[in-house]
Structure 1
Amino acid sequence: MTQTATTATATATAEAVAAVPALAARAAGVGASPVREILALTARPEVISFAGGLPAPELFDAAGLRAAYDAVLRETPRHVLQYSTTEGDPALRGTVAARLTARGLPTDAEDLLVTGGSQQGLSLLATALLEPGDTVLVEDPTYLAALQVFGFAGARVVPVPSDADGILPDALDALVASERPKLLYLIPTFQNPTGRTLRAERRAEVARIAARRGLWVVEDDPYGELRYDGETLPWISAFPGAEDRTVLLGSFSKIMAPGLRLGWLRAPGALRRACVIAKQAADLHSSTVDQAAAARYLADADLEAHLATVRTAYRARRDALLAGLPDALPAGSTWNHPNGGMFLWVRLPDGRDATALLRTAVTHDVAYVPGAPFFATHPDRATLRMSFTTHTPAEITEGLRRLSRAFAQGA
């Protein structure tokens, strides 16, 4: 081999093993969801898991959804199997608009964008609103996947002091004045992870602060129709002052089926149009056939009757969990009593670490989600989230017996 050929071979070899470019800083800096990792860890059928925020699969109206799919595929296959508009199926948007209007929030179909679950709606808003370094205010603690979205956007996340009734308006006002945030993200009703609900007078105050200070409010409402006790509260979007600066996110995941991956976004015109462009860049549009089937289901099935069945089952499961907690948790623990949704929030006595105790719990075939990952800054390691929707009352009672033994062992 000539010297030139040898040199060329060495150069090619060196080029072949050169390192690939690094990941973007935002990808390297945002961690995976601990909740998803716990779900994988507890996938064994013998585990009774209070971890996942999953709807009960035995309560899905599979027959009604199959009938809806059969109908649209039989009647309009060329349409439902084709590309469609980014904004979403007109019939589906019209039905959602009518439901919102009936619940006190006047809405037209044109006010809505259909999304891949409310999670995509949040991602689209981050794309349309946030520059790297912008400040976002959140509840303390807050939805874990929202922290991931804001992390990918390069935002600076600041928690607003909160109590059992949600964020404190005076603290919010002071933080808006000092931090100059771009937006406030809230789950006002049956919040994930705590299950708490923001009182009506605080909702009105949030609207006033947003109007006075100049602030976007993103109101995420995936759980609002899962109410078991008490009166329905108005959305922040419905309060005076909030009309032109509040985005409402909704989802079919908890009231129909999460596998549809369908949600919606209600926003003022200019922001909604920006989100449409962001969605075009992300996925062109949500599934045509899934949207058409969802619209047909809402037209043909009795969603309110289905929701009544779901609420009855979930109320019994919540009550079973609440009844068993005094004997299952260490002395000195505290917890709340949510009026709906899928979660309640526990705080163990000082000095207990829910993350460390989870390892012991899993050996007893029971699981929960530690609370620490839900905090934007300073985690409270004594906290944990418990979901009550995916197990029967009898299974919940057995799960609490296992949890009691695990906590006793880990003491």
Structure 2
Amino acid sequence: MHSAASTPANAATTSRTPGPAVPAPATASRLAGVASSPVRDILALTARPEVISFAGGLPAPELFDVVGIRAAYDRVLAEIPRQALQYSTTEGDPELRTAVAARLTDRDLPTDPDDLLITTGSQQALTLLTTALVEPGGVVLVEDPCYLAALQTFAFAGARVVPVPTDDQGIIPAALEEIAAREKATLLYIIPTFQNPTGRTLPAERRAAVAEAAARHGFWIVEDDPYGELRYDGDRVPAIAADPTAADRTVLLGSFSKVMAPGLRLGFLRAPAGLRRACVIAKQAADLHTSSIDQAAAARYLRDSDLDAHVAGMRAAYQERRDAMLEGLPAALPEGSRWNRPEGGMFIWVNLPDGHDATALLKTAVGHEVAYVPGAPFFSGEPDPGAVRLSFTTHSAEEIREGLRRLAKTFA
């Protein structure tokens, strides 16, 4: 037994007086200018089942091919379990890249599997590109208004975001030319087909002008195409990436989130070899590779199921919902409101009359158990307080009609 008597008389003793703890380091300065996504915040506030929400850009969950996707996972785990559950290559599952390349080639964009990098959603593809291309303070051109998560990505990178004006047909070529002539831009980020938030589609002649501006002024084009397969009217417009003028400087981003299921978190980027290799290195640092089993299941689904037929069913359902919203808007919105008629995608863009503040009115709308996204946060230039983004994909036509009846009370 140890006792006080066994302690040496000359043993050093110390007395510690507790003091205030030293604070842990603060978060990195790069977070200072990055706000939380207003859309995500609104979704959290309107999660009550009684609220009819036109806020989220979400695919309709009842349209997911649960049976086909489950069967794909079952076959992968039965036939190649060791491969599907093991680490994989950064570039992505060869079978999945082959299937994606074939789909792009069928859309008049000749693509080899080696042109592609599989990513954890197309949002990661944008992050990898930004990491590979954008220096702090570098200029990034964006449509105004622009996809919110892209603005967050560029803010994290410390980019200087320069908005390019748009009209009802999308980005204005003359404005792009003027801005590109005075700004040494690294890239232009653009969603030319069924844009988020506006639903607009950039006409072919404007796409050609964008390609020519990039060649003339030496910036990259990041062409995001998450909605392109959701066309309800009109003819498909060729991708900017298919324009020979832009072939050496255009990166195409794609996603399975809107046509298969967002929970898979599967996207891809198609890029010239040098930039693609840089993105591979950035991805190795980020997550080594995208989920092996999810890639294998998606590849098996594309082999065994008819994704085109599945997407055709989605298009029919979404077209009915879009039409129900368009039919109900005249009675739901105040006189003098304007809105577009998108040929596809998920969104209708509304401009309320002068004097209406969509952000201020949102609380009233939620009180009537209906929700939308105010348009102001999508602008990196001067915001339009009367702008509203409405999504029509998540509710049935009858629920949309009821939601619009509730929305009308907001302006009564």
Q: TM-score, normalised by structure 1?
A: 0.96
- Equivalence for 2:401: 397
Q: Does structure 2 retain, via aligned residues, the 8 Å contact 1:143–1:192?
A: yes
User: What is the CA distance between 1:4 and its match in structure 2?
Assistant: 7.6
Q: Show structure 1 runs of 4+ deviating over 6 A.
A: none
Mapped pair 1:193 → 2:201: no
Partner Cα distance (2:144, 2:246) in 1: 22
Partner Cα distance (1:4, 1:23) in 2: 39
Q: Which SS does the other structure have where 1:29 is aligned?
A: coil
Q: Does structure 2 retain, via aligned residues, the 8 Å contact 1:137–1:184?
A: yes
Across the aligned residues of Structure 1 and Structure 2, the Cα RMSD in angstroms comes to: 1.2
Partner Cα distance (2:34, 2:210) in 1: 29
- Equivalence for 2:17: 9
Q: 1:384 aligns with which of 382, 388, 395?
A: 388
Q: Which SS does the other structure have where 1:177 is aligned?
A: helix
- Equivalence for 1:34: 38
User: What is the CA distance between 1:28 and its match in structure 2?
Assistant: 2.3
Q: 1:280 aligns with which of 280, 284, 297?
A: 284
- Equivalence for 2:166: 162
The 5 A counterparts of 1:61-140 are 61-140=65-144
Q: 2:317 aligns with which of 274, 296, 313?
A: 313
Q: Which runs of 5 or more residues in structure 2 are unaligned?
A: 1-10
Partner Cα distance (1:314, 1:377) in 2: 31
User: What is the CA distance between 1:170 and its match in structure 2?
Assistant: 1.1
- Equivalence for 1:220: 224
Partner Cα distance (2:265, 2:175) in 1: 35
Q: Which SS does the other structure have where 1:65 is aligned?
A: helix
Deviations 1:55-107, CA, capped at 9 Å, x for gaps = 00000000000010000000010110000000000000000001111111111
User: What is the CA distance between 1:3 and its match in structure 2?
Assistant: 12
Q: Does structure 2 retain, via aligned residues, the 8 Å contact 1:135–1:181?
A: yes
User: What is the CA distance between 1:148 and its match in structure 2?
Assistant: 0.0
User: What is the CA distance between 1:44 and its match in structure 2?
Assistant: 0.5
Larger mean Cα displacement after TM superposition, 48-57 or 170-179: 170-179
Partner Cα distance (1:4, 1:133) in 2: 55
Q: Which runs of 5 or more residues in structure 1 are unaligned?
A: none
Partner Cα distance (1:407, 1:81) in 2: 54
Radius of gyration: which is bigger? 2
> Which letter maps to 2:92?
G
- Equivalence for 2:272: 268
Partner Cα distance (2:12, 2:379) in 1: 62
Q: 2:341 aligns with which of 333, 337, 346?
A: 337
Partner Cα distance (1:265, 1:246) in 2: 10
Q: TM-score, normalised by structure 2?
A: 0.96
Q: Which SS does the other structure have where 2:251 is aligned?
A: strand
Q: Which SS does the other structure have where 1:157 is aligned?
A: strand
- Equivalence for 1:375: 379
User: What is the CA distance between 1:222 and its match in structure 2?
Assistant: 0.1
Mapped pair 1:55 → 2:59: yes
Deviations 1:215-235, CA, capped at 9 Å, x for gaps = 100000000000000000100
Partner Cα distance (1:48, 1:85) in 2: 43
Q: Which SS does the other structure have where 2:89 is aligned?
A: coil
Q: Does structure 2 retain, via aligned residues, the 8 Å contact 1:115–1:263?
A: yes
Mapped pair 1:357 → 2:361: yes
- Equivalence for 1:294: 298
Partner Cα distance (1:319, 1:18) in 2: 60
- Equivalence for 1:327: 331
Partner Cα distance (1:233, 1:59) in 2: 26
Q: Which SS does the other structure have where 1:161 is aligned?
A: strand
Q: Which SS does the other structure have where 1:241 is aligned?
A: helix
- Equivalence for 1:234: 238
Mapped pair 1:144 → 2:148: yes
Partner Cα distance (1:272, 1:90) in 2: 16
- Equivalence for 2:208: 204
Q: Does structure 2 retain, via aligned residues, the 8 Å contact 1:260–1:290?
A: yes
Q: Kindly tell me the number of residue pairs found equivalent between the two proteins.
A: 402
> Which letter maps to 2:180?
V
Mapped pair 1:153 → 2:161: no
Partner Cα distance (2:97, 2:385) in 1: 42
User: What is the CA distance between 1:240 and its match in structure 2?
Assistant: 2.0
Q: 2:177 aligns with which of 173, 178, 197?
A: 173
